[in-house]
Amino acid sequence: QKREISNFDYLMYLNTLAGRSYNDYMQYPVFPWVLADYHSETLNLTDPHTFRDLSKPMGAQTKERKHKFIQRYNEVEKSEGDLAAQCHYCTHYSSAIIVASYLVRLEPFTQTFCSLQGGSFDVADRMFHSVKSTWESASRDNMSDVRELIPEFFYLPEFLTNANHFEFGCMQDGTVLGDVQLPPWADGDPHKFILLHRQALESDYVSAHLHHWIDLIFGHKQHGSAAVEAVNTYHPYFYGDKMDLKNIKDPLIKTTILGFISNFGQIPKQV
């Protein structure tokens, strides 16, 4: 409010308070998608339609998608701790594989990605190859994709180029996978993309609405009845601090839960 700290610094501070760290891929700092416009030739930061709805999680960015997730929630019988537990999302907005897939063009993340994938790159069409298509997948098209962003999207142009010339293979349409495809308004320049994307994060619109997203990720809409109302509940295993692993005697169940968390992500500590 006093313009004494940037939105970026504030989000980093909140991530740190919530136990997120660059040292842990499973609890990596989480940042929001702030834009919804990845098709225009120029980016208009004075138009509200340019921006993502920060008051809603990624699973509720369109009415149709929101309705489907509410339907899923209502169809599952409540069974705490079971794999079929009542929740809106069985995948997470931040996990080790999401972080590694975004940063796959840079070491050591390339090796991390391959080890998480069982020793090789994923099918080319499933790799992170386009900002626009990733937004469309996470906000509209893919019911198992509700990913948010990582801090690098706001300061590190290098992760968008395949400077190490890794061979990721070809997509089904014959396109060789290389640099990340950028929106038209970036003019094919990763530095321009980062500059404009950071300007979007620090824009008046985002400054006025960012607290809604913070409520969803770090605040009172993170779990409980407020989360249900906000279409923002995740599988019980994702709430690490709510799972009492010490009292689970069966080693197989304990291993399953820990494997689930390490593969699919964790909710930040509530701030």
Total residue length of the chain:
271
d(CA 28, CA 16): 10
Q: What is the pLDDT of residues 82-129, one digit of tens each?
A: 556 789 998 999 999 999 999 999 999 999 999 988 888 888 888 999
CB 102 within 8 A of CB 156: no
Partners of residue 89 on adjacent β-strands: 234
| pLDDT at 83 (0 to 100) | 54
CATH architecture assignment, domain 7-262: Orthogonal Bundle (1.10)
Q: What is the pTM of this model?
A: 0.92
| pLDDT at 38 (0 to 100) | 97
Q: Which of 164, 172, 188 is nearest to 114 (CA)?
A: 164
| pLDDT at 82 (0 to 100) | 52
Q: Which residues of the chain have pLDDT under 70?
A: 77-84, 241-245
- When the pLDDT of each residue in the chain is averaged and rounded to a whole number, the result is 91
| pLDDT at 260 (0 to 100) | 73
- Alpha helices, DSSP H, located in 125-250: 131-136, 190-201, 204-217, 225-229
| pLDDT at 84 (0 to 100) | 61
Residues 6+ apart with CB under 8 A from 73: 86, 87, 88, 228, 231, 233
Cα 262 to the center of its chain, rounded Å: 15
Residues 6+ apart with CB under 8 A from 157: 190, 191, 193, 194
